Amino acid sequence: MTPTLWNQAVKQDGFYHIYNLDCGQIPSSCQEVVEGLPGPAVLHIKGMSSVCRVIVTLLHGDEPTSLRTVLDVLHKNILPATNIKIVIVSVDAAALPPLFSHPFEPGKRDLNRCFREPFLYQDSHPANNLYRLLDGLSPECVINLHDTASGVPSFALSMNKTPAHVALGSYFCDTLIHSPIIIGALTDLPLEGPVVSVYTPQNAATKTNEKLTKGLLALWQDKSVQGQTEVQTISQPRRLELRRSAALTYSDKPVFGVNCTLRNDIESCSFVTLQPGDTLGWVDHNRLDHFRIVGRSNREQVSTFFSANDNCLTVNQTTTLFLLSKNPELAKSDCLFYFSAE
Ligand SMILES: [Zn+2]
């Protein structure tokens, strides 16, 4: 961060606030921003009306494409229709070497699973700080930007699917996943306006995401948030979770001694329609006992959706997977993936 810009920062309730931001002063590389900021920051951009829209970015420190795209939009120096607050969250995790490789600091929890008790109400917890910030701003809408694997289409995710949620999602993508399962994500927050997470494919090196740029520019300049394109909703997908005791790895063949091996190219299955018998990976002699299904009723059987014949983990029905994580720690503590089955 340039020293002049940095001198304007005011520390308050866990964030470094930069008021009346002059967009021309913002460094153009996300590396400079992360290395220059001493912690989570809020950039306040004055617009034509006092309505407030919030853009949350870098909730995960290893997702620079969204931040880079936000910086690119800032540099266009366009007066927004409303006040805009850009919240750059996991600066500390992002700044750990190698830069942009840590979703959160080692030994800490995934922040996007902390927006629930007890963390949400713990004084000075980053989740509590962010909740109080957002609640105090009474935003018209909040978008929470995440990077996802490259090659995957952009999609949005929300707790509710009111017309306001769908309209907000339509700025960025044509698919909205409506997932009412409480997992402690930012989208769970009980704010007045819609909160939507937007996932855009990660780009290498210095590239921004064109579709995200377009969506942000439209949201920047529209006087009211209104539907942009037709949005397909995927309602109430289920989660496939791995039991705590099971070990997990990713490989192109079963790994001896590991309870569950998922295909190395599992991310390429995102939003691809899988047919009965298609392989996701391999399991040991405990077969489907390693898994549980979460999302609808408590009684759903793993065997309704998946099989483990000859130790091969396959799907039983026409199935679409999404929100796959290839980070074994995250996949184990959260879920292997979300899926919808016909
Ligand atoms: Zn993320």
Domain boundaries, the chain: 3-235, 238-341
CA of 147 to the centre of ligand 1 (A): 6
DSSP structural state of residue 254: P
**pLDDT (0 to 100) of residue 4:** 65
Is 132 buried (19+), middle (13-18) or exposed (0-12) by CB count in 10 A?
A: middle
**pLDDT (0 to 100) of residue 333:** 84
Segments in the chain below pLDDT 50: none
Measured between alpha carbons, how far is 146 from 67 in angstroms, rounded to an integer? Answer: 9
CA of 111 to the centre of ligand 1 (A): 9
CA of 61 to the centre of ligand 1 (A): 8
Measured between alpha carbons, how far is 337 from 204 in angstroms, rounded to an integer? Answer: 24
**pLDDT (0 to 100) of residue 3:** 61
Model confidence, pTM:
0.93
**pLDDT (0 to 100) of residue 88:** 98
β-bridge partners, 134? none
**pLDDT (0 to 100) of residue 159:** 95
Q: Which helix (H) or strand (E) holds 158?
A: strand 155-158
| CA neighbor of 240 nearest in space, from 195, 196, 186, 283 | 283
- For residue 149, the number of C-alpha atoms closer than 13 Å in the C-beta half-sphere is 15
Q: Which two tokens stand for residue 89?
A: 């969250």
**pLDDT (0 to 100) of residue 278:** 97
**pLDDT (0 to 100) of residue 209:** 82
CA of 146 to the centre of ligand 1 (A): 4
Q: What are phi and psi of 309, to 5 degrees?
A: -70, 140
Q: Residue 210, Cβ neighbours under 10 Å: how many?
A: 12
CA of 227 to the centre of ligand 1 (A): 25
CA of 199 to the centre of ligand 1 (A): 8
Cβ atoms of 18 and 42 within 8 Å: the answer is yes
CA of 81 to the centre of ligand 1 (A): 27
| Local structure of 261: helix, strand or coil | strand
**pLDDT (0 to 100) of residue 200:** 92
CA of 64 to the centre of ligand 1 (A): 10
CA of 124 to the centre of ligand 1 (A): 21
**pLDDT (0 to 100) of residue 265:** 92
Fold of the domain built from segment(s) 3-235: Aminopeptidase (3.40.630)
**pLDDT (0 to 100) of residue 24:** 82
CA of 49 to the centre of ligand 1 (A): 30
